[in-house]
């Protein structure tokens, strides 16, 4: 995946991170490869985190108020 291309989806980003972790856990990597994988993993982690934040801002909870249904912003503390 080129550096400037966004992750196609959150799920594909997680899959790629899992592959990176498996390769790093093998323990049989040259230092340069381990550093390369670490950097790539950190970038993927940041992209996935941003995707989660964006999704959270789009979530709305429908709340019944009398006979109307009104959308309210998602607030995690209101569980």
Provide the pLDDT for residue 58: 72
Residue 62 in domain:
yes
Look up the CATH number of the domain holding residue 18: 1.10.287
Residues 6 or more apart whose Cβ sits within 8 Å of residue 72 = 60, 61, 62, 63
Provide the pLDDT for residue 67: 64
Residue 1 in domain:
no
Q: Read off the pLDDT band of 30 (50, 70, 90).
A: very high
Whether 71 shows a pLDDT value over 60: the answer reads yes
Q: Is 62 exposed, middle or buried, given 0-12, 13-18 or 19+ CB atoms closer than 10 A?
A: exposed
Full residue range of the structural domain in which residue 52 is found: 10-78
The rounded mean pLDDT for the chain is: 79
Residue 15 in domain:
yes
Domain count, the chain: 1
């Amino acid at each position: 995946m080129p550096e400037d291309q966004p992750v196609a989806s959150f799920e594909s980003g997680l899959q790629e991170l899992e592959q990176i972790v498996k390769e790093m856990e093998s323990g049989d990597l040259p230092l340069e490869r381990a550093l390369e994988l670490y950097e790539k993993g950190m970038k993927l982690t940041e992209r996935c985190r941003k995707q989660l934040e964006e999704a959270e801002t789009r979530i709305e909870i429908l709340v019944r108020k009398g006979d109307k249904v009104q959308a309210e912003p998602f607030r995690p503390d209101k569980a």
